Amino acid sequence: MSASASAAAASPSPASVLNLNALFDNPLFAGGIGLASLGAAAAFARKGSIAVLGAARRRLLVNVEISKQDAAYPWILAWLSQPRETPGFIASRLTRIHNLSVATATGSKGPGAGGPVNAHFFLQPGYGRHIVKFGRAFISVNREKHNTANMNTGEPHEIVQLTTLWAHRHVFEDLFREAHQLAAKANEGKTVVYSARGLEWSPLGDPRKKRPLGSVILDEGVKESIVADVKDFLSRQQWYVDRGIPYRRGYLLFGPPGSGKSSFIQALAGELDFGVAMINLSEMGMTDDKLAYLLTKLPKRSLLLLEDADAAFVNRRQRDSDGYSGANVTFSGLLNALDGVAAGEERIAFLTTNHIERLDPALIRPGRVDMMIKIGEATRYQAAQMWDRFYGDVDEDHSGRARFLERLEELGLFGQYKDGRASHRHTSAAAIQGLFLFNKNDMQGAIDMAEGLIPRKFEA
């Protein structure tokens, strides 16, 4: 430090001392300083108390955050939506949920009505804070919507945060167990069908009532052979693991529309207590990458259903002929997705097609398609079985069934006429079902109207 500078510091100029004294003597200025220091002290104290509170909060409370992407999210909301009585005047007032939101699930469409007919409304805790009591613990629930969105679905991110005392942290395990049991119970006897929404699987409507296998009538022995094969596969996981073979099996069901392919897969899933994860390969926007990604993320315990498998082959032919490749799945994309290393270690896939002639033999390979099954036009056996399911109780001597089958033969609906000439006419199980539904309690009506089963293209 230079000598002149230190001298200046040691002896401040008399003018500046004078000024300072004058300032402090000024009551207005002194009051201002007092106020400012009080304010500073208050701010400091507030900061300090926030820090202390924050620390106490971290030590005394415990938080669990569940994001909307998590499978447990809907379970927790359903659990929170349950009506519950909290004993005690204050506790019951404290735990009343005042802010609700509604979740509506619509059912199937009415016949020809074009609009949803049945709807279920679930009241869920709305956004914001609520308090619930679980056992002896009070839990603060905070449901929040964020202003960021899921890139796949475009939906805003959402979380539910549960907070309770550190001492009660163990209630979360019980709470999650209870919520899961509740969800499992709601799905009991039901089949969950998943469809792809963006890059995610999400349940398609409400879980459907399980379809009994007996309600799908395929040709003699067909159903039994597939069911036995799938059950055998499910019992052999270790066999595959021991041999280092991917634990996958594929089935190709082919045949005209309305022969029961989808119904059978639905019923099989019910029988095995599996869900169905469905992708329509002809759907716009279903690309190779998307398909491959979705197959790596299959919902657990579900049958993969790839509908319209021929769509991938049509694309290939189009591309070969005119170089066009739309935003659809290609043949190699389908094979890659089926073979993919990451494509789920356990998988049962069903491919369906109405056009077997369009498929490529490369599809038939262990793990891709192990079994090809024709689910064809209705046979005499199926027509008889369906008759029994509808009219079995009123047609005790089977005379009605005999007349019905004879009528179908007269019309040549099993591929030939009664005298053995080929007719090339066929009908579908869906059409027979339609005829029976129209004549619910009227066997004769069904026989009289059997002509209506002749497909349009064969009508005179």
From residue 121, how far is each of 97, 104, 124, 130, 356 by CA, in Å?
A: 17, 5, 9, 21, 43
In the complex, what is the shortest distance from the CB of residue 256 to ligand ADP, in angstroms, rounded to a whole number? Answer: 7
Separation between Cα atoms, residue 375 and residue 232, nearest integer Å: 21
Q: Least distance in Å: CB of 214 to ligand ADP?
A: 10
Question: Least CB distance from residue 332 to ligand ADP, whole Å?
Answer: 26
**Residue 36 one-letter amino acid:** A
**Which is nearest to 404 in space by CA: 372, 432, 434?**
432
Considering beta carbons, is residue 330 or 353 the nearer one to ligand ADP?
353
Q: At closest approach, how far in Å is the CB of 459 from ligand ADP?
A: 21
CA distance 287 to 328: 5
Q: Which is nearer to ligand ADP, 62 or 305 (CB)?
A: 305
Least distance (Å) between residue 222 CB and ligand ADP: 9
Residue closer to ligand ADP, measured from CB, 211 or 368:
211
Distance separating alpha carbons of residues 382 and 414, to the nearest angstrom: 11
The DSSP letter of residue 109 is: B
- Which residue, 92 or 108, is less far from ligand ADP as judged by CB? 108
- Residue whose CB is nearest to ligand ADP in the complex, by number: 260
Residue 218 CB, nearest distance to ligand ADP (Å)?
Answer: 5
In whole angstroms, what is the distance from residue 18 CA to residue 182 CA?
82
- Give whichever of 76 and 351 is closer to ligand ADP, judged by the CB atom: 351
Minimum CB separation of residue 88 from ligand ADP in Å reads 53
Closest CA to 292 of 301, 302, 281: 281
User: For ligand ADP, which is the closer residue by CB, 374 or 398?
Assistant: 374
SS3 351: strand
Interacting residue ranges for ligand ADP, rule: CB under 6 A: 216-218, 257-263, 429-430, 433
CA distance 290 to 281: 11
Angle at 69 between CA 188 and CA 305, to 5 degrees: 55
Please choose, from the candidates 311, 313, 329, the residue with its C-alpha nearest in 3D space to the C-alpha of residue 321: 313
Nearer to ligand ADP, 218 or 292 (CB): 218
- Whichever of 74 and 258 has its CB closer to ligand ADP, that residue is 258
Where do runs of H (alpha helix) occur along 287-428? 288-296, 311-322, 331-339, 380-391, 399-410
Taking the complex as a whole, the smallest distance from the CB of residue 355 to ligand ADP amounts, in Å, to: 12
The two structure tokens encoding residue 98: 């005042």
Per DSSP, the three-state class of 425 is strand
Q: Are 102 and 123 in contact (CB under 8 A)?
A: yes
Which of residues 77 and 265 has its CB atom nearest to ligand ADP in the complex? 265
CB nearer to ligand ADP: pick between 132 and 303: 303
Closest distance of CB 450 from ligand ADP, Å: 17
Q: How far is the CB of 397 from ligand ADP (least distance, A)?
A: 24
Rounded CA separation 387/145 (Å): 54
- Where are the alpha helices (H) located in 287-362, listed in sequence order? 288-296, 311-322, 331-339
- Tokens in use for 335? 């094979």
Size of the chain in residues: 460
